[in-house]
Structure 1
């Protein structure tokens, strides 16, 4: 292949990847909701900020993440509010830049999170976050002034700002073991599960995210030049890419979920089920950075965290469902996946609200 042809192929590959980076139109409508009313419709608002209102016509449609990023920025400029009009106090234009710049001055992620939560607590009236460490687990709990819960989009926007910034500060994705919200489950949650965690729990006593406490000690080592590059791409770079549900890994997970864990196939048998060769399966998973074993471990972890939140399911039953020989093997695997003890996780996730 000539260099020109190779360049064309590479550009086509990049374009194909970019097309998959998208946000549901349902979340576009959510972003507009705080600003529309009898005198300004969603379609009129989109036209006013220079975006095509036709995108709202298909509720199952998707918007390119770069266009969604422009939506966020233009709404923030238009209304001087980076929180989509969801709080009596506007999170004024430039708040995220100021927050990011001040957070890179902090020595560790724990200091940065405390600082960020204090800053957001000053900027917002209804939401005040607090970082709580509980042995090997950490949680950020939102204390709310309003007795009635906010809509899910409000909570997820808060987590997007906080979690997205935190991941960039330490240069790695911080896995969330659970996301709990006071509100009822909305009609659409697919993008939220991709952005944050498959383990979303609605109608809970408090709104919080739970993660391994070990990340709190990670150092903040970001330069001013890195900050400028980060801010130039924000908020697109803190919007997690949408998962293509037709992808190979998604098809594999769907197949595994249909079987008891002890009957999960080896890679050769799986390849036959998918009507491809074993070598092709390994190659395609390697290209996606998702080895078969990692897919199985990730699915076991998702199932384990889901079942640990149900007090009626014993540790022995969870171990059996996941295909482990005994509870001890399950404990060892869970600590390897998450860095924490499953008993500690269950105690925290089932603990009554202490806010």
Structure 2
């Protein structure tokens, strides 16, 4: 199980609109199998499946794809309708322009624009008039449009950079996992940039593929965290595949151990931190899924005794394994 878990910040941020409108947060969390006690600890994590269920529950409760965070709702079905218009376009550029023109009909906020200059395409969001202190809606829309664009042409579009018009938040480490690109905070505007040649690439999807795509999207798109091209993701995959130790992982990646250490340090992490994050995510996923005792899980993850696993889990997530097991449903 290599899937990355998601910081509790994103659960709290997603719930903000529902709270404003007086909805029962307890019920929404129960639908997603998330223990309410986790909301109070910034170290807590949820699985992508839990997060997807939460987003879907919020759409159902609010009838709003913007989850109560925009100045006016974006009714359920707006995004699928835009996708249906876009999938019939010849090129990605045509599809994006048609999709943005569709949203313009509803005077949607935040305002989204597509520009091109000197071979660089820029997708920009204006946050004017949006009461979104967590920037959750803005970041979700950036992720959604980037990943939808990649799906349209059948290949991931590497981002040249991500400019965000606000200071780096405490959970800034998550951003590299979300965007997989160089980040600049406190920028003049909130913009994704990529090579403009992708705008000329043909749309390779059709309506049948779109129906499959929309079964769990856009919730599933928002729940992904791992782009996999950086050193830490490569190390994570090696460790998840059973390769043990820094020297062995480095050899499998074709570099020396000191080189791998330097690459990880440049990404703001270390071999030990990557390993601990993998163990944390494996533990959270197993506890939520059920079917394995804490003792069995501790042994599988390499702990000599359950008490050592309990201590490590409390350090990783701020709470006990039982809290995660108690929060899961279905």
Which TM-score tier does this pair reach, normalised by the shorter chain? 0.5 to 0.7
Which of 164, 167, 170 is the equivalent residue of 1:187? Answer: 170
Partner of 1:250: 232
Q: Deviations over 1:22-72 (max 9, x none)?
A: 221110111001121495564454247775424424421221112211111
Partner of 1:214: 197
Q: Report the secondary structure of 1:275's partner residue.
A: helix
Instruction: Please say if residues 104 and 222 of structure 1, whose CA atoms lie closer than 8 Å, have aligned partners that are also in contact.
Output: yes
Q: Report the secondary structure of 1:133's partner residue.
A: strand
Q: Report the secondary structure of 2:248's partner residue.
A: coil
**For residues 193 and 246 of structure 2, what CA distance do their matches in structure 1 show?**
36
**For residues 233 and 146 of structure 2, what CA distance do their matches in structure 1 show?**
28
Q: Report the secondary structure of 1:233's partner residue.
A: coil
Instruction: Please say if residues 49 and 74 of structure 1, whose CA atoms lie closer than 8 Å, have aligned partners that are also in contact.
Output: yes
Q: Deviations over 1:119-165 (max 9, x none)?
A: 33344533222211112211112234439886422211111221121
Instruction: Please say if residues 65 and 236 of structure 1, whose CA atoms lie closer than 8 Å, have aligned partners that are also in contact.
Output: no
Instruction: Please say if residues 9 and 171 of structure 2, whose CA atoms lie closer than 8 Å, have aligned partners that are also in contact.
Output: yes
**For residues 238 and 194 of structure 1, what CA distance do their matches in structure 2 show?**
13
**For residues 30 and 222 of structure 2, what CA distance do their matches in structure 1 show?**
23
The alignment of Structure 1 onto Structure 2 pairs a total of residues equal to: 255
Is structure 2 residue 47 aligned with structure 1 residue 64? Answer: yes
**For residues 132 and 40 of structure 1, what CA distance do their matches in structure 2 show?**
38
| TM-score of the superposed pair, with normalisation by structure 1 | 0.62
Is structure 2 residue 122 aligned with structure 1 residue 139? Answer: yes
Counterparts of 1:314-329 in structure 2 under 5 Å? none
**For residues 43 and 249 of structure 2, what CA distance do their matches in structure 1 show?**
34
Greater than 6 Å deviation, 4+ residue runs: none
- 1:237 Cα deviation after fit: 4.0
Q: Deviations over 1:54-112 (max 9, x none)?
A: 44244212211122111111101110111121112111111121111111011100011
- 1:277 Cα deviation after fit: 7.9
Instruction: Call closer, same or farther: CA 1:56–1:134 in 2, change over 3 Å.
Output: same
- 1:224 Cα deviation after fit: 1.9
Which of 93, 98, 117 is the equivalent residue of 1:110? Answer: 93
Larger-Rg structure: 1
Instruction: Please say if residues 35 and 84 of structure 1, whose CA atoms lie closer than 8 Å, have aligned partners that are also in contact.
Output: yes
Instruction: Please say if residues 180 and 209 of structure 1, whose CA atoms lie closer than 8 Å, have aligned partners that are also in contact.
Output: yes
Q: Report the secondary structure of 2:192's partner residue.
A: strand
Partner of 1:177: 160
Partner of 2:12: 29
Cα-Cα RMSD: 3.6
Partner of 2:209: 226
**For residues 244 and 107 of structure 1, what CA distance do their matches in structure 2 show?**
27
Which of 247, 267, 270 is the equivalent residue of 1:275? Answer: 247
Instruction: Call closer, same or farther: CA 1:65–1:185 in 2, change over 3 Å.
Output: same
Q: Deviations over 1:244-294 (max 9, x none)?
A: 99x9932989xxxxxxxxxxxxxxxxx9x933387xx32xx4xxxxx759x
| TM-score of the superposed pair, with normalisation by structure 2 | 0.66
Q: Report the secondary structure of 2:75's partner residue.
A: coil
- 1:191 Cα deviation after fit: 2.6
For structure 1, the 5+ residue unaligned runs are 1-15, 254-270, 286-290, 304-355
Instruction: Call closer, same or farther: CA 1:40–1:191 in 2, change over 3 Å.
Output: same
Select the structure with the greater relative contact order (CA < 8 A; seq sep ≥ 6): 2
- 1:240 Cα deviation after fit: 6.2
Q: Deviations over 1:191-234 (max 9, x none)?
A: 32212134222222211111111111010021222111111132
Instruction: Please say if residues 122 and 192 of structure 2, whose CA atoms lie closer than 8 Å, have aligned partners that are also in contact.
Output: yes
